């Protein structure tokens, strides 16, 4: 597709379970970002991948959060042992070179029961 694609669009899971969220960026975009957005709030930066460089993980809130980007394309964000405070919308974005506009997916709405 032409845009950033995220799956699943909604995820409901029980506290303590692990979840994996997927992001397919725009083809050819070297930069990929993950953000978290709580209800009615702005975006909280989580992690940033740029080409083959080591990712910037400075926004990950705890060691339960990790992310990978395979082959410079698809990325997965994994949350282990989920907690209720992890409930939020997780947004992925990509940009051509990390310097200009970011293109967002529609997010994954994660609900932890």
Compute the Cα dihedral for 33, 101, 54, 59 and give only its sign.
negative
Per-residue string for binding with other proteins, 32-51, x by CB under 8 A? -x-x-----xxx-x--x---
Instruction: Work out whether 25 is an interface residue with other proteins (CB under 8 A).
Output: no
Whether residue 20 contacts residue 76, with contact meaning beta carbons closer than 8 Å, is answered with: yes
Q: Least distance from C-beta 16 to other proteins, angstroms?
A: 27
Q: Which residues bind other proteins (CB under 8 A)?
A: 4, 33, 35, 41-43, 45, 48, 56, 58, 91, 93, 98-107
């Amino acid at each position: 597709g032409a845009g950033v694609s995220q799956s699943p669009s909604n995820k409901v899971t029980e506290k303590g379970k692990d979840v994996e969220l997927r992001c397919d960026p725009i083809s050819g975009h070297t930069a990929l970002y993950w953000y978290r957005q709580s209800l009615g709030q702005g975006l909280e930066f989580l992690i940033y991948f740029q080409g083959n460089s080591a990712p910037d993980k400075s926004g990950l809130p705890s060691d339960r959060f990790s992310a990978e980007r395979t082959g410079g394309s698809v990325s997965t964000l994994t949350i282990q042992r989920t907690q209720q405070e992890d409930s939020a919308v997780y947004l992925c974005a990509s940009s051509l070179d990390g310097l200009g506009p970011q293109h967002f997916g529609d997010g994954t709405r994660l609900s932890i029961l």
